[in-house]
Amino acid sequence: MTTNTSTQIQLVARPVGWPTHDDFRSVTVELPELAPGEVRVANEFISVDPYMRGRMNDVRSYTPPYALGETMTGGAIGRVVESTSDAHSVGDVVLHQEGWRDVSQGAASGYRVVPELPGVPLSTYLGMLGLTGFTAYLGLLEIAKMKEGEIVFISGAAGAVGTAAGQIARLKGASRVIGSAGTPAKVALLTEKYGYDAAFNYKDAPVRKQLKAAAPDGIDVYFDNVGGDHLEAALSSFNDGGRAALCGAIQDYNATERVAGPSNMSNIVTRGLTLQGFTVGNHFQHYRAFTEEMTGWFRDGKIVFDETVVEGIDNAVEAFFGLMRGENTGKMVVRVGSAA
């Protein structure tokens, strides 16, 4: 593999509803010589994440929209193949935000050197040990302020953030952890591998009903990756003083018509509930605490994880579509090259 060129994925049209291949294009560009203080990185894995669907729309948000006709960005991990920076050596593993391409290049300050942990694949830095794990940690502990002994419900529980959140809830002493997912295999995985006390398939029956059955004593904390009927069900099952961390609303992302909100919003008043939306960008003050705690759990063998790996930069867009359709278990990543 040459690293003088970079194959990159660009957004060329803003999707209306479900994105299609016509909304993207792949370009291969010649890379210029490195300027002083830069690095060139052969990526090994790039990340595809639900939040990226939001960046494809031209709407105001904490994260700015992707520009049309430009290469998209996102999490990626790779090895330095060329460096004019004193802080980066050839062979260093670096984590960065210049994803959606096989070779990245730019100011060294944007590329953070991370240690290689024995037995831990590099892709983990995009998942459990990276922003995905941080999202789960932040939402559960800082946003929803989960306390020991509480009952926790997590939607999209077999996804990257969900599998992290369920394990963190358990490790932090939740008394009961309940998850929802969209296939029987995922539901089985939740209780058999990820330590959930109860799990259900949201396609089997109304979520509200299934949650009531799985949480006879109500819920105290809700980690929302889904929105829609799941949020409504949580509002219905919440105990007084319950807190919801709203992380995503994948049910709404590709909707072209307005989605009616929960019909039981008045429970927020009568039960004194708190709903807080968040994106990680505004909360990096907690990142160090996350890294220390999560690395410790990894070292002690207390964290398990799944990955869904799609091969090749040419399949990156298809990987993103698969993520939207819920085809992944755990973190979805694209393997874009090999440093070998």
For its own copies, the closer CB: 269 or 340: 269
For its own copies, the closer CB: 50 or 78: 50
For its own copies, the closer CB: 62 or 284: 62
- Fill in the per-residue mask, 260 to 279: x = in contact with its own copies (CB under 8 A), - = not in contact: xxxxxxxxxxxxxxxxxxxx
Q: Is 208 helix (H, G, I), strand (E, B) or coil?
A: helix
Nearest to 196 by CA among 211, 182, 213, 179: 179
State the nearest-atom distance from the C-beta of 241 to its own copies, in Å.
8
User: Which of 56, 103, 169, 247 contacts its own copies by CB under 8 A?
Assistant: 247
Residues 39, 43, 47: CA angle, nearest 5 degrees: 120
3-state secondary structure 109-123: HHCEECCCCCCCCHH
| Residue 173 makes contact with its own copies by CB under 8 A | no
- As a whole number of angstroms, the distance between CA 59 and CA 89 comes to 39
Q: Is the dihedral of CA 132, 134, 137, 143 positive or negative?
A: negative
| Residue 19 makes contact with its own copies by CB under 8 A | no
- Piece of 7-15, 150-158, 258-266, 319-327 that binds its own copies (CB under 8 A): 258-266
Backbone angles phi, psi at 171, to 5 degrees: -65, -25
H or E element that contains 293: helix 287-299
| Residue 285 makes contact with its own copies by CB under 8 A | no
List binders of its own copies among 180-239 (CB under 8 A): 227, 231-232
Q: How many CA atoms, within 13 angstroms, populate the side-chain half-sphere of residue 175?
A: 12
State the nearest-atom distance from the C-beta of 333 to its own copies, in Å.
23
State the nearest-atom distance from the C-beta of 259 to its own copies, in Å.
6
| Residue 92 makes contact with its own copies by CB under 8 A | no
For its own copies, the closer CB: 76 or 275: 275
State the nearest-atom distance from the C-beta of 61 to its own copies, in Å.
4
For its own copies, the closer CB: 102 or 232: 232
Q: How many residues bind its own copies (CB under 8 A)?
A: 40
- Piece of 60-68, 126-134, 209-217, 313-321 that binds its own copies (CB under 8 A): 60-68
10 Å Cβ neighbour count for 52?
Answer: 23
| Residue 49 makes contact with its own copies by CB under 8 A | no
| Residue 116 makes contact with its own copies by CB under 8 A | no
State the nearest-atom distance from the C-beta of 144 to its own copies, in Å.
11
User: Which of 54, 74, 75, 330 contacts its own copies by CB under 8 A?
Assistant: 54
User: Which of 252, 306, 314, 318 contacts its own copies by CB under 8 A?
Assistant: 252
Across 155-184, b (16+ Cβ under 10 Å) vs e yields bbbbbbbbbbbbbbbbebebebbbbbbbee
Q: Is 27 helix (H, G, I), strand (E, B) or coil?
A: strand
Q: What is the token pair recorded at 270?
A: 């009568």
| Residue 288 makes contact with its own copies by CB under 8 A | no
Q: 254 to each of 68, 152, 217, 284, how far by Cα in Å?
A: 18, 27, 34, 28
| Residue 109 makes contact with its own copies by CB under 8 A | no
For its own copies, the closer CB: 45 or 238: 238
H or E element that contains 134: helix 131-137
- As a whole number of angstroms, the distance between CA 211 and CA 201 comes to 10
| Residue 74 makes contact with its own copies by CB under 8 A | no
- As a whole number of angstroms, the distance between CA 182 and CA 137 comes to 23
Q: Contact positions toward its own copies, by CB under 8 A?
A: 54, 59-63, 227, 231-232, 240-241, 246-249, 252-253, 258-279, 282
